[in-house]
Amino acid sequence: MRSCSGADNPLRRWKSPAALKTVPAHASSRSRPRALSRQSWIVVGASMRFCSGRSMSPRSVQNWPWWARAPCRPVHTGNLPLLVTTLMLRKILIVDDDAIARMAVAGVLESENAWTLTQAGDGRQALDLLEAGFRPDLCLLDVRMPLIDGLEFTRRVRADERFRDLKIVVTSGSTDREAIVAFARLRVSGFLPKPCSAEKIFGVLRPLLAPATPA
């Protein structure tokens, strides 16, 4: 088992807290993903550095589980080549005035341990979070809500250059064609019907939140 410590530790160049996961240098490409199991997530909310005693090709990284893939780059420490990759938990904002619906979706998402969840009871609360500096990677948005509904929330988000690129997935039990067209014109990332199975939720969210694969 290779390890990094002291002055030779390449992780010293990063200021953010990190967890270091080492993989045997002789491990095959097929066995490496198993070493990067969810049990390796020992620092919640922090970046994680996975090091291998020998460099890995982009093709081998593509075979990792979707939640373990992240942009990576080689780091050389003396004669030991390392492939260092950063894995950050994705942030999801759930916006729905129905507390039971929010908790149901949160319960499904928490089973993955691949993201952190924040909830808001309506569009006004969600906008307040964004104004306060919160930057989710994706927003699961209900349509019909008091104060500021889903459509108005989306309009305001797209009109503000600070968070106009926020990925928004609309959740609704309505099949109102006009509303669907209006959301599509505002460049939402997807639609989920209510009620929705866990399989459908993950089918929409995983591609949107999966880290980019190195070219």
Instruction: Name the nearest CA neighbour of 97 among 30, 142, 57.
Output: 142
DSSP state of 69: -
Last residue in a domain, options 87, 111, 128: 87
- Tell whether 159 and 70 lie within a shared domain: no
- Tell whether 200 and 106 lie within a shared domain: yes
- Tell whether 83 and 115 lie within a shared domain: no
Cβ–Cβ < 8 Å for 89, 57: no
Distance between CA atoms of residues 162 and 94, nearest Å: 19
Average pLDDT over every residue of 139-144: 94
- Tell whether 98 and 168 lie within a shared domain: yes
Instruction: Name the nearest CA neighbour of 130 among 102, 153, 114, 101.
Output: 153
Is the pLDDT reported for residue 6 higher than 50? no
Helix axes 99-110, 198-209, angle to 10 degrees: 70
Cβ–Cβ < 8 Å for 95, 72: no
- The pLDDT of residue 91 is 93
What average pLDDT does the chain have? 71
- Tell whether 126 and 35 lie within a shared domain: no
- Tell whether 17 and 62 lie within a shared domain: yes
Last residue in a domain, options 87, 105, 134: 87
Is the pLDDT reported for residue 92 higher than 60? yes
How many structural domains are present in the chain?
2
- Tell whether 110 and 202 lie within a shared domain: yes
- Tell whether 59 and 96 lie within a shared domain: no
Is 215 inside a domain boundary? no
Strand partners, 47: 18
Residue 174 or 61, more confident: 174
- Tell whether 126 and 193 lie within a shared domain: yes
Cβ–Cβ < 8 Å for 120, 93: yes
The answer to which of 7-11, 131-135, 146-150, 206-210 has the lowest mean pLDDT is: 7-11
Is 72 inside a domain boundary? yes
Last residue in a domain, options 71, 87, 103: 87
Instruction: Name the nearest CA neighbour of 87 among 6, 167, 33, 12.
Output: 33
- The pLDDT of residue 30 is 45
> What CATH number is attached to the domain comprising 182?
3.40.50.2300
- The pLDDT of residue 7 is 44
Residue 167 or 67, more confident: 167
Structural domain of residue 34, as residue ranges? 6-87
Residue 73's φ and ψ, nearest 5 degrees, are -150, 150
Is 1 inside a domain boundary? no
- Tell whether 66 and 77 lie within a shared domain: yes
pLDDT one-digit tens code per residue, 44-67: 334 444 444 444 454 554 444 444
Cβ–Cβ < 8 Å for 72, 61: yes
- The pLDDT of residue 12 is 37
Cβ–Cβ < 8 Å for 97, 193: no
Instruction: Name the nearest CA neighbour of 50 among 77, 79, 71.
Output: 71
Average pLDDT over every residue of 166-187: 89
Average pLDDT over every residue of 113-124: 90
- Tell whether 110 and 190 lie within a shared domain: yes
**What is the pTM (predicted TM-score) of this model?**
0.60
- The pLDDT of residue 110 is 87
Is 51 inside a domain boundary? yes
